[in-house]
Copies of this chain bind each other. A is one copy, B any other.
């Protein structure tokens, strides 16, 4: 895995991929699937995400204030859905799904080796959790697997139906107004 500037979290999350979120409390990690997330701010890089009391990871995230947002690609599709359809209450998902992990740098939650990218995050504001289950996270460190060939992410349309990344469209020359963004 290669380092990638935390300031460029938007390049990974603004496209709206389905993601996995890892947490860890008292040495016990968990992983969940998440579709409700967004970039909130470029600098510092703030991310909004909805994780509710119905998620096993909720209590851990509130307690530790740390997580990793991992971005899977289409080769992990079935696993991504299955992770979202069982609970860390009763299952060690890393064991069940054979997920390979690596320690993160800034947080106790593990990196997922089989994902395209891993974003180490800390909770920056939990004031919106009681009302909307909305955590404001700050991206602290990003890792990308530059070596992998499969790079197509998935976008959840609800109900286990996904759009897979197709082609790229480069309209950078038309972006005359936003040259100041972090590169």
What is the interface of chain A, defined by CB distance below 8 A to chain B? 8, 10-11, 14-17, 35-41, 46, 48-50, 74, 77-78, 81-82, 84-86, 128, 132, 134, 136, 152-178, 181, 183
Contact = CB atoms under 8 A, between A and B. Distances in A.
Given A136-B132, A165-B163, A171-B78, A84 B157 contact: no
20 contacts: A11-B158, A14-B35, A14-B155, A15-B16, A15-B156, A15-B157, A37-B38, A74-B169, A77-B169, A84-B175, A84-B178, A159-B175, A159-B181, A160-B173, A161-B171, A162-B170, A163-B167, A164-B166, A164-B169, A165-B165
Tally of this chain's copies: 2
B160 A175 contact: yes
A176 B81 CA distance: 10
A158 B181 contact: yes
A155 B48 CA distance: 18
A102 to B, nearest CB: 25
Contact of A178 (B159, B162, B171): B159
A75 to B, nearest CB: 11
Given A38-B38, A166-B167, A172 B160 contact: yes
A81 B175 contact: yes
